[in-house]
Amino acid sequence: MSNHEPDEKELAEAQALARALDGDATEGAPQDALEAAALLRYGARPDLEPARKAQILADLLPRVARRRRHLRWWLLPIIAVPAAVVLLFASSIRRPALVAERPAMRSLPATPLSLLHAQRKATEGRPELLDAEMQKFRKTLFVTLSGSEERP
């Protein structure tokens, strides 16, 4: 709570609230003061007539329904965005059990220089060495991929 002295506007609002609490709704009273006075006045006496209760309920229900409708539109992104972030994060985490089940990657053998020379000669019109060099390279490649010393 602050210790400052109230200014003219605050004093006028306080006087308007006091008049509204007494039942004298004047034009100078702010709307929030009138609403607060009505809540205090009707909250103090629970013996409200049924017709007045129905009138107040009929006045409040459309306001509450409108607020709930707006709340749903704001609630969707508030819930959907964090849920999407959680799903993306959960899907990007590597699970150690799944990583351990994968076979180890083998590096492929480098292309021998003799195969490259044979390919160059084949482009010049001399393809006789290319077939033999490709067969040697394929055998080396298949042995590496199978993981054994020789091809079965």
Q: What distance in Å separates the CA atoms of residue 42 and residue 38, rounded to the nearest whole number?
A: 6
Instruction: For 57-92, write each residue's pLDDT tens digit.
Output: 787 777 666 655 555 666 777 888 889 988 888 887
Higher pLDDT, 97 or 37: 37
Expressed as residue numbers, the domain containing 70 is 48-93
3-state secondary structure the chain: CCCCCCCHHHHHHHHHHHHHHCCCCCCCCCHHHHHHHHHHHHHHCCCCCHHHHHHHHHHHHHHHHHHHHHHHHHHHHHHHHHHHHHHHHHHHCCCHHHHHHCCCCCCCCCCCHHHHHHHHHHHCCCCHHHHHHHHHHHHHHHHHHHCCCCCC
In a domain, residue 103? The reply is: no
pTM of the model: 0.31
Question: In terms of domains, do 60 and 89 share one?
Answer: yes
In a domain, residue 41? The reply is: yes
In a domain, residue 34? The reply is: yes
Q: What is the mean pLDDT of residues 42-58?
A: 75
In a domain, residue 100? The reply is: no
Instruction: For 7-46, write each residue's pLDDT tens digit.
Output: 888 888 778 777 776 766 666 667 776 777 677 776 666 6
In a domain, residue 105? The reply is: no
Contact 118, 133 (CB under 8 A): yes
Question: In terms of domains, do 81 and 118 share one?
Answer: no
- Could you give phi then psi for residue 149, rounded to 5 degrees? -75, -40
Question: In terms of domains, do 61 and 86 share one?
Answer: yes
Higher pLDDT, 48 or 119: 119
On the question of pLDDT at 138 being above 80, the answer is yes
How many domains are there within the chain? 3
